[in-house]
Structure 1
Amino acid sequence: MNWKKTLIALFIMIPAFAVCTPNIATASTVAGDQNRDVSFSLEIKQVPGNLAIKGLARNNLHHKIYQLQLFAVVLDENGKPSGNEAVFIGPASLALDQSQQFNLTLPGNLSMNARNIRLEYRYHLPDYAERYWSWTYGRIMITPEGDSKS
């Protein structure tokens, strides 16, 4: 195995950890920090029958990321996915310091009683030879009680 690829994988594949303190009814928070790969600014609102998550995803890496995808997943009281999820597929590429707005809507019946919402993201990074693509993952836990887990 190439030692450069191993080092790059160790530093790039570290998941983004965040501190956010939203109230599910109406919330505005910043998740992630400028030292992470992707940071988020979120607003969470209860709308009739649904839970709406609006936000901004920002690329903090020193190079482009490709095919940013976001997944919002409602977790039950045991921390297991409830089956309610929303997906956002971003632009083909996102340059350094470039931001992308996103909107996610979670179905209402389970999301209204959600104990946790997990915002997951992934994106592609080409290797230096640009022959192979690999996914880089991260996740943010949003809890109504105001504490956050990564």
Structure 2
Amino acid sequence: VLLNGGIGGTIIERIERKDAVETGKKYTIYDEDFNDYVVTAKWWDYDDTMDKPGTYSVDTETIAFSIEVNEDAEDEIYYAYYYSKDKEFDKDDLSKPIYSDSITPVEYSDGRAFYDVDCSKVKKGYYVVVVASDDSLKYPYVLAYAEVK
């Protein structure tokens, strides 16, 4: 429903409406139980090519959305990236992800743990990532979007 319809506007417009109220950071957490594990979430700039959060230049190698979680998070999660040349994300754009993966939290040397939701298939356009408990994407935890200029 969130990807293929729902209440008015494009998928990005729907994320922005909810996002404007809750975070202002180009993502929305939809699942309250998952939110209990989240310390912070944001777009990362591995390649030093991001103009502002979630807006990358075309020479970016990896679009990186990371969710920092507390020590209670250990479940495997699924994510899928969708691509569109414009913000519209028509039915064809949302019919098949350009990249998907299952991941568990990675603990770094400073003791912090992250779900690293990365995509290395980068070209100019718009990306929506859906993070969910499984590949059905029926119950999304998080929706986020990025732009590559």
TM-score normalised by L of structure 2: 0.46
Structure with the higher fraction of residues in strand conformation: 1
Give the alignment's TM-score, normalised by structure 1: 0.46
Q: Which has the larger radius of gyration?
A: 1
